[in-house]
Amino acid sequence: MTRLDAVVVGGGVSGMGAAWALHRAGVSVRVLEAGPEVGGVVRSVTENGSGEGLLLELGPQTLSTRDPALLGALADLGLEAGMLEADSAGGRRYVVHRGVPVAVPHGPGGLLSTPLLSPGAKVRLLTEPFRRRGGERDESVASFVRRRLGPQVLERLVDPFVSGVFAGDPETLALGAIFPDLVEAEARHGSVVRGMLARGRSARAERGGAPRPRSRILSFDGGLQSWPRAVARRLGKEGLEVDAGVHMLSRDNGSGSWRVAWDGGELQARSVILATPARAAAGLVEALDPEAAGALRGLPYAPVTVVHLAWPRASVAHALDGFGALVPSAEGRRVLGSLWPGTLFPLRLPQDLVLTANFVGGARTPERASLSENDILALVREELEALLGARGTPSLARVTRWPEAIPQYVRGHGDRIAAVERLEAGVEGLRLAGNWRGGVSLGAAWSGGVAAGQAAASALGALAEG
């Protein structure tokens, strides 16, 4: 039986972050990935159907970060030379309003001048600092925004954002899990506006008056999957197994080590990090802690189908001069949104071609994600003709299905995570990571994995010293 310091189950962004941190600390580690390659929902492919060899992101489209630690990790992995930063046009975002994409306002001045909000809604925004504290425990995003900022802000700004980022429903998503800063702002300062101003002053003081690092929208020459693949190269052949499903996890109370049974046999390790989707983690911890397993199993996911369509530039009326357009549910459209990768990274596309990545399904209309390929292509083409003036036959069409695309931090999420934390506190040498805790973004998933890896390395070092 092979003996290691640590085993990481799952080769998505969280798992590769954990493995990178362990390897960097000098810990012998092996990643077991059930699929044929690393990256999880991060998938970068070259599609030749258009004759142009277009790079497509089948899952997340970009990495958005201002985190110096993450940027340092990318440099450590040798990814700086091939890093691509989005065109400045990516700072422009659209929301569909009355059937037309309208630019999202920037800053307080933009909110007061935007056609997205009525004069009454703008007055309501100005009165936010004078509204009383309130709300229930574990309040939903929708309840909080409706109460403090008004129904139009919810419907026309927050709803499409939540739908675009989380594929979720603001009526069910937990405010404290999604936007903890807003909970703190109201609790400490009685107002979102006052709380955000105080937070800004505090952050400036901590930086000694230096400007806040700007958020960067990034990708890489070979696509986002270059990132987990770079970690795989760092680990080497001994550090990674693919097509390696894990069947059982058990603890040897005599030696204090873990036994990990997988498709290729069995490994023994002093530390295990489970960096899988919540349901897979539930099956592996069932015998250790049924309560934590139940919490993980009950964590819902939203299905999303990604539809890439490319056209000749002349076939699309809209300028596509931004990151993309998100669609409020009140608009009654059948897509969650449309992103425009060619605008972000124009060197990836010939000048006479445009590329769209379109999203269908989500928590509110999950049935649409499982439509037949012909039906879903027809649906998206009809929607883009109405919203963007896209006409004619696309030169490229690709459908990618993610049945469990994005975990939903619904009300009760904090209780689920508390059950997992009790498991981790009560069982030595076991940690869990993934985008089902700590944030669904790529940056949050990586950081959560790195934190788990660093904690495991620290504990292993303490054991060695002891």
Q: What is the pLDDT of residues 320-329, one digit of tens each?
A: 999 999 999 9
Per-residue pLDDT tens for 115-171? 999 999 999 999 999 998 887 789 999 999 999 999 999 999 999 999 999 999 999
Q: Tell me how far apart the alpha carbons of residues 306 and 299 are, in angstroms, rounded to a whole number.
A: 22
When pLDDT is cut at 50, 70 and 90, the band that residue 107 belongs to is confident
DSSP secondary structure letters along 195-259: HHHHHHHHHHHHTTTPPPPPPEEEEETT-TTHHHHHHHHHH-GGGEESS--EEEEEEETTTTEEE
Q: Tell me how far apart the alpha carbons of residues 87 and 85 are, in angstroms, rounded to a whole number.
A: 7
Pairing between β-strand 29-32 and β-strand 240-241 as defined by DSSP bridges: parallel
CB 272 within 8 A of CB 288: no
| Structural domains of the chain sorted by starting position, each given as residue range(s) with its CATH number in brackets | 3-41+221-299+410-460 (3.50.50.60), 83-91+301-407 (3.90.660.20), 117-128+138-207 (1.10.3110.10)
Per-residue pLDDT tens for 290-345? 999 999 999 999 999 999 999 999 999 999 999 999 999 999 999 999 999 999 99
Q: Is the dihedral of CA 418, 419, 421, 425 positive or negative?
A: positive
Per-residue pLDDT tens for 239-269? 999 999 999 999 988 788 999 999 999 999 9
Please report the pLDDT score of residue 136 as a whole number: 79
Statement: residue 466 has pLDDT above 50: no
Taking all residues of the chain, what is their mean pLDDT, rounded to a whole number?
Answer: 94
Residue 428: phi and psi, rounded to 5, are -70, 135
CB 211 within 8 A of CB 446: no
Per-residue pLDDT tens for 29-88? 999 999 999 999 999 999 875 556 899 999 999 999 999 999 999 999 999 999 999 999
Unique residue bearing structure tokens 């009654």: 332
CA 197 from chain centre, in angstroms, equals 27
Residue 67 in tokens: 């985190």
153 by Cβ neighbours in 10 Å (0-12 / 13-18 / 19+) ranks as: buried
